[in-house]
Chains A and B, each alone.
Chain A
Amino acid sequence: MSIEPFNRHTGLVAPLDRANVDTDAIIPKQFLKSVQRTGFGPYLFDEWRYLDHGEPGMECSQRPQNPDFVLNQPRYAAATVLLARANFGCGSSREHAPWALRDYGFRAIVAPSFADIFYSNCFKNGLLPVVLDEGVVDQLFQAVYDASDYRLTIDLPEQVVTTPHGDAFPFTVDPFRKRMLLEGLDEIGVTLAEQAEAIRAYEQRRAQEAPWLFAAR
């Protein structure tokens, strides 16, 4: 499946000020029963966002919202960049977490660190996880709280995050993932087109070395 490319994005920032936000919090388990990839946005952070208990298929517009939850504050309604704390996305491997974030409207998440599987899942879904220093993230939290319409520009080709005041913070990203995301490529298609021969050659060699791995039962 090809994905929506990510190039340069400027968006309103919403601050989610807690560490170790886990995937159960991002999208609770009852929503994992879906066999689709879409439609998770209304249930993003369901237990924090609403005061009642959410179930799949529920119409969310009438549900009682938790006014204390950051995404329910009108000033962040149009946010497309999530500012988060360390170890964001820890816990389960559910890709439903990036699906929900993307479906809600986020294009990028900025945090001091991410859990590995979540980090990799983001790239497959046109969602860019950006790692910046803890100190920089602290500053950004402060800036978001202080300004009413705080926007960050995230430039993937240049690998830099720019603040409204022109401060620029570089970030790293693997060349392979960068290419996939920039061009919105179908990774499977790329592997099959570029690597099918190499995979077959590997299998032949490996079947000699370790035949038990290929002895079909």
Chain B
Amino acid sequence: MTPKTLYDKLWDAHVVTAYDDGSALLYIDRQLLHEVTSPQAFEGLRLAGRKPWRLDANLAVTDHNVPTTAHTEPVADPVARLQIETLDRNCAEFGVTEFGMGDPRQGIVHVVGPEQGATLPGMTLVCGDSHTATHGALGTLAFGIGTSEVEHVLATQTLVQQKAARMLIRVDGQLAHAVTAKDLILAIIGRIGTAGGTGYAIEFAGEAVRALSMEGRMTLCNMAIEAGARCGMVGVDAITIDYVRGRPYAPQGELWERAVANWRDLVTDDGAEFDRIEVFDATAIEPQVTWGTSPEMVAGVGAVIPDPRQVEDAVRADAIRRALEYMDLQPGMPLTQIPIDKVFIGSCTNARIEDLREAAEVVRGRRVSERIQQALVVPGSGLVKRQAEAEGLDRVFSEAGFEWREPGCSMCLGMNPDRLNPGERCASTSNRNFEGRQGQGGRTHLASPAMAAAAALYGHFVDIRDELGG
């Protein structure tokens, strides 16, 4: 048999009908829904008099709009409240399981799916959200879709898809102490660019990737979309299986044994061919900080802001010039001298328990700098929050001067009241530093949880390796 990549295996197992042009009607095993991209899809079903094809394949949560102050209070913003209530109403009407506000399992859709075992290896999984790539960490074919496609999946449990080209990103060697999955993915995007993965399904592999926990792998796959790829994935191994075991939606007993036997094959076969291979040396990767308005505008923490006059490509030089203007930064300035106003630890990239532990380790027994106006910790889900509280992390953060919040997307995109004011500069563990992403006129610097936590203590970025004794 011809050796196959993981992507090919996942694809082939889900083809309902193959079309002549290479596209296929793919079966979708799981759809996750949230309040922002689903109302028009449910409305479409209603108008056409259609029913969901397979109710139990869907799971809904509220996350984007929810306030991160007490979830028992009514939502103050009437427009946000309408959207949240619309999801509640749609789920009730159509019979979709929802973890709504006040449910301890509520949280960011990409944290909740894997945490519940609703994301399983070998599945196809979609959600009306680009960071659905996250779930690929479990050996799942997972990708973000638009609202029309959400409706298509609700109605038919399938999607017409074009097959992507295959890219292997192999990371050799080990990441240095205090250098995390976030630094790795930022460094990858820095090299291949935000459009580098367009048209590809990326598989992350190699020694450094194998060594990552599931949380780390999720961080990695989460930002595959920031490299332009619609999905990222990691082959199944013992770490994957240990992670899934015993989760509420995971198979049990004899079905579990059968599933595991099947999942062990969810790796790329030796000798399988990729359309493109990129190799990285993990040992060379430093803690990363973005300085611009696109995730590819990133550098090691020891670097200085680049000079657009030294960039040959005119379109790129122009992009850098605009970015520096928006960010109010000067070429040649060290990244460690950028003064920070706010710190956000959260988002589907970095709000799992391991991320909170890493940040807490940095701040334990210390104080947030005077110049920081607000430092938020927003756990990825209600269950992450409980776990962190059981470990006393909430107190570590509160005592240091961080605000300990309820789960949701929060300042990752500022649809709820957590956002930046014009001109404010934020060290953020989220995934997008686009203009206005965290609030109109706000300036975002992406970094790992430990780097963001340290920035809160100093009021500027520092090399976390010095802090943690790298």
Contact = CB atoms under 8 A, between A and B. Distances in A.
B319 to A, nearest CB: 6
A216 interface: yes
Contacts of B466: none
B415 A199 contact: no
Contact of A29 (B16, B228, B413): B413
Interface residues of A, number: 61
A116 B228 contact: yes
Interface stretch (B79-87, B233-241, B339-347, B366-374): B79-87
A215 B251 contact: yes
A61 interface: no
B198 interface: yes
Contact of B149 (A18, A124, A216): A124
Contacts of A113: 195, 198
Nearest to B436: A47
A160 to B, nearest CB: 19
B437 A191 contact: no
A25 interface: yes
B148 A24 contact: no
Given A93-B144, A188-B156, A206-B27, A18 B16 contact: no
Given A35-B43, A212-B258, A91 B130 contact: yes
A28 interface: yes
Interface in B77-116: 77, 79-80, 82-83, 86
Given A18-B319, A213-B123, A215-B251, A90 B194 contact: yes
Given A33-B65, A37-B40, A91-B432, A121 B16 contact: no
Contacts of B145: 93, 117, 120
B146 A192 contact: no
Contacts of B434: 22, 24-25, 91
A18 B318 contact: yes
Contacts of B401: none
B160 A92 contact: no
Given A56-B79, A186-B48, A189-B48, 16 more contacts: A20-B294, A33-B80, A35-B86, A93-B128, A98-B146, A113-B195, A116-B229, A117-B143, A175-B19, A176-B160, A188-B152, A195-B17, A199-B16, A202-B16, A212-B255, A215-B251
Interface in B226-269: 228-230, 248-249, 251, 255-256, 258-259, 262
A5 B379 CA distance: 45
Contact of B25 (A19, A30, A191): A191
Contacts of A117: 130, 143-146, 230
15 contacts: A22-B432, A25-B436, A29-B415, A35-B43, A36-B40, A37-B43, A37-B147, A93-B132, A117-B130, A175-B20, A188-B151, A198-B17, A202-B16, A202-B27, A203-B27
Contacts of B54: 203
A112 B327 CA distance: 27
A93 B17 CA distance: 25
Contacts of A30: 415
B328 interface: no
Interface in A120-155: 120-121, 124-125
Contacts of B122: 210, 213
A68 interface: no
Contact of B195 (A20, A57, A121): A20
A217 B248 contact: yes
Nearest to B25: A195
A154 B318 CA distance: 29
B156 A191 contact: yes
Interchain residue pairs A-B with the least CB separation, the first 9: A124-B148, A212-B251, A121-B146, A35-B39, A95-B146, A87-B195, A93-B144, A95-B147, A216-B56
Contacts of A33: 36, 65, 77, 79-80, 82-83, 415
Interface of B: 16-17, 19-21, 23, 25, 27, 29, 36-37, 39-40, 43-44, 47-48, 50, 53-54, 56, 64-65, 77, 79-80, 82-83, 86, 120, 122-123, 128-130, 132, 143-149, 151-152, 155-158, 160, 162, 194-195, 198-199, 228-230, 248-249, 251, 255-256, 258-259, 262, 294, 315-316, 318-319, 322, 413-415, 432, 434-437, 440
A144 to B, nearest CB: 16
B297 to A, nearest CB: 10
Interface string A1-42: 100000000000000001110101100111011111100000
Given A1-B44, A47-B436, A174-B162, A213 B322 contact: no
Nearest to B78: A33
A211 interface: yes
Contacts of A79: none
A25 B435 CA distance: 7
A8 B444 CA distance: 43
Given A24-B436, A113-B198, A95 B37 contact: yes
A115 interface: yes
Nearest to B29: A213
B315 to A, nearest CB: 5
Contact of B249 (A20, A25, A98, A217): A217
Contacts of A86: 195, 315
Contacts of A216: 56
Contact of B47 (A1, A34, A90, A116): A1
B448 to A, nearest CB: 21
Contacts of A212: 120, 251, 255-256, 258-259
A38 to B, nearest CB: 10
A19 B319 contact: yes
B436 A195 contact: no
Given A33-B79, A95-B147, A191-B25, A116 B120 contact: no
Contact of B415 (A32, A36, A90, A196): A32
Given A37-B40, A47-B440, A176 B255 contact: no
B318 to A, nearest CB: 7
B80 A213 contact: no
B377 to A, nearest CB: 22
